[in-house]
Amino acid sequence: MSEDFNPSCPFPIQNYPQVLLAHGGGGKLMQQLIEKMFATAFDPMSKEGLHDSISLNLPGKRIAFTTDSFVVRPLFFPGGDIGTLAVNGTVNDLAMSGARPLYLSLGFILEEGLPMNVLWQVVCSIKKAADTAGVTIVTGDTKVVDKGKGDGIYINTSGIGVIEHSLHIVPSTVKSGDLVIISGDVGRHGMAIIATRESLNFESAIESDCAPLGGLVLQLIKADTEIHCMRDLTRGGLASALNEIACAAHLGIHIEEALVPVREDVAAACAIMGFDPLYVANEGRFVIFVAPQDQAKVLEIMRKHPQGQGACCIGSVQSKSQTNVVMKSKIGANRLLDMISGEQLPRIC
């Protein structure tokens, strides 16, 4: 420990003496936990706004590195399972730095009594997802905990990708006038999880959008587009992702509700459950901040790709001192999209 490190906890423990589910939900409490405790203690290398992965300069090569853990409940859901989620979630974090994903580590925490056929099904899903994403599982670890202490399976992954371009894709590079483009409809993954968890019977099952985004991102980069930032819309959904970027860039973001794509079944399920789809997690969607002159090119490329067929421009970055997100509602009123304290849906990834 360095001599100038202060061992006193900087987090307001008097307000939150214990960890809450909300501390892992992608909202204000999670942001405070990361910034006030973890970043204070560990002094992260990136000073440009925390991103999905960190860019590291090695001799003759730039790489992206990330790590993630997956505790989704239930283990299986329409459109995927914890295995596909673990691979795609990590691959997508690398892609948001513009990296070509290459290698993953895989750590299992298994609960005593887990049926072997369930574990094998998850392993097969991981293999299939890794092959689809073009990554290799190169190392891993396995631990087993007592029955009743592990909820079946928890998975930790770390990922390494190579950055083969000169772009600096981080939140701090977002500029006034940038356009905000989204790759498709929002809220589908979170609602697929909650519908399965609560045994909700809709006319047709809502399937998760869980998918790898690396291929689409690499196409955009190879097309020589001026990309300033990307962020996949996981915990906290679209609204939280935009707030994080606005804060890091010290700029305001304006979007239009009528332009944000939400499927009818997802909107109906959100209305029944009392959720706002703008805060519901996705696992195969991202926003991209691009220079205005590249809007047409970016949209053309995205709409030709399976993971970007619903791409559309939903707003722009404003040259204002306020670091907030404002949405013009369908009736013409402005609504402040704040970052929620926790998360509407815990344990969705």
Tally of CB atoms within 10 A around 282: 30
Homologous superfamily assigned to 21-163:
PurM-like, N-terminal domain (3.30.1330.10)
Q: What are the extents of the domains in the chain?
A: 21-163, 171-336
How distant, in Å, are the alpha carbons of 326, 328, 338 from that of 256? 8, 5, 15
* DSSP symbol at 206: P
Higher-scoring residue by pLDDT: 321, 8: 321
Mean pLDDT of the chain: 90
Dmax (CA) for the chain in angstroms is 62
Per the listing, tokens 């909202």 go with 27
Q: What is the CATH number of domain 171-336?
A: 3.90.650.10
Spatial contact of 97 and 132, defined as CB atoms under 8 Å apart: no
Tell me the two tokens of residue 292: 């205005």
pTM for the predicted model, two decimal places: 0.88
Taking only the tens place, the pLDDT of each residue in 25-64 is 667 777 777 777 777 777 765 555 566 678 787 888 899 9
| Model confidence band, residue 143 (pLDDT cutoffs 50, 70, 90) | very high
Task: Give the mean pLDDT of 240-265.
Answer: 95
